Amino acid sequence: MHAATYDQLSARVNALLADPTTLKSLGITLRREPSDDSAAWSQLVTDLRQAPNLTLLPLQDGAIRLAWHSWLD
């Protein structure tokens, strides 16, 4: 099994974030999959931290919680 590259990881996360159900929930928990490259995961987390209007909360199990505000608030 090969490690998921940054582009593959980013595409997976973008698909999750674009899901209408996810958008309505105003947040999602992301977990690194065993097949995810550790450097790619670290880069993704760094990039998400820099995204405007997005709050990133590291969880004790290594997952991250992303939250955002509705544009209607």
The low-confidence residues of the chain, meaning pLDDT below 70, are 1-3, 70-73
Structure tokens, 20: 């209408």
Distances in whole angstroms, Cα of residue 5 to Cα of each of 20, 38, 46, 69, 72:
25, 9, 15, 29, 35
Domain ranges of the chain: 6-67
pTM: 0.81
pLDDT of the residue at 1: 42
CA distance 20 to 5: 25
pLDDT of the residue at 72: 53
Which residues have C-beta within 8 Å of that of residue 36, sequence separation ≥ 6?
Answer: 3, 4, 9
